[in-house]
Amino acid sequence: MKKRKSVIPGFGISLGITLTILSIVVLIPLCSLVVFSAKLSFSEFVYTVTRPRVLSGYFVSISTAFIASLINVVMGLILAFVLVRYDFKGKRFIDGIIELPFALPTAVAGISLTHLTTTNGWVGSIFYKLFGVKIAYTRIGITIALIFIGIPFVVRSVQPVLEKIDIQYEEAAFILGANSRTTFFKVIFPEILPAIISGFTLAFARSIGEYGSVVFIAGNTPYETEIAPLLIMSELQEYDYSAATSIALVMLAIAVVILLINAIVQSIVSRRVNGLA
């Protein structure tokens, strides 16, 4: 049998190009964090990244990102299901506008959301007058900003998987007497679960390091609404590069752990789904 010729260059050239691009784009910038952080002694590094104000920044960033990602899972699943299973006027417009957070500058998003959610804004004034709830300059505002930038990750992760699910499986479940709820959880949900986990993880990892859209709406009150990326920027403004890179290194470690957990969980879920299939 004749071996099909590959359209890309040989393995050696391809691997060399891959490693070069990976080094320039990823490895060298990440190594610079380690180099600058290494200027501190171990005790100084530990003190820098465990100061009460820094720990509070970690907590604010992680907690709001986690809540926003959970909300995005629910909202993103609904949006993806509607876009795949229903035809209606304006469907293409909605499908396209979901990717707006990818294209919109984060600073623009932050300013717009802040203007809308202050006590004098269109949305914020309603919640403040009816419920006495302030949105802007609180953790609620941070969560809303993170929902805005994270929703496309969930939709675009789940949507292609939903499109590939054969509708005949659902019809067969209905014929066998399953109701809508049983069909969803027994037929559809196992198929899209890996995509849901992937979308959640991507949104969560993206939200933890978000700066531009959050810094305006957060209010940046220490120990209350101050996020970890803002602490990094504050250290850079004071030309304390070692402290800034130390905090950034911790954030990088958190992101790596999240992605590692995602890979492990996805592997386990995929095996179970394939085993059931």
Confidence of residue 69 (pLDDT cuts 50, 70, 90): very high
DSSP 140-178: HHHHHHHHHHHHHHHHHHHHHHHHHS-HHHHHHHHHTT-
Q: Which of these, 105, 6, 56, 68, lies nearest to 220 by C-alpha position? A: 56
Residue 35 clears pLDDT 80, i.e. is over it: no
**Residue 276 confidence (pLDDT) above 70:** no
Q: What is the pLDDT of residues 123-140, one digit of tens each?
A: 999 999 988 899 999 999
Structure tokens at 190: 């196992």
**DSSP characters over 215-239:** HHHH---TTTT--HHHHHHHHHHTT
Given the structure tokens 């590939």, which residue do they identify? 164
pTM of the entire predicted model: 0.86
The residues spanned by each domain of the chain are 36-276
CATH superfamily, with its number, for domain 36-276:
MetI-like (1.10.3720.10)
pLDDT tens digits, 140-193: 999 999 999 999 999 999 999 998 888 888 888 888 888 888 888 888 888 888
Cα(218)–Cα(221) distance, rounded to whole angstroms? 8
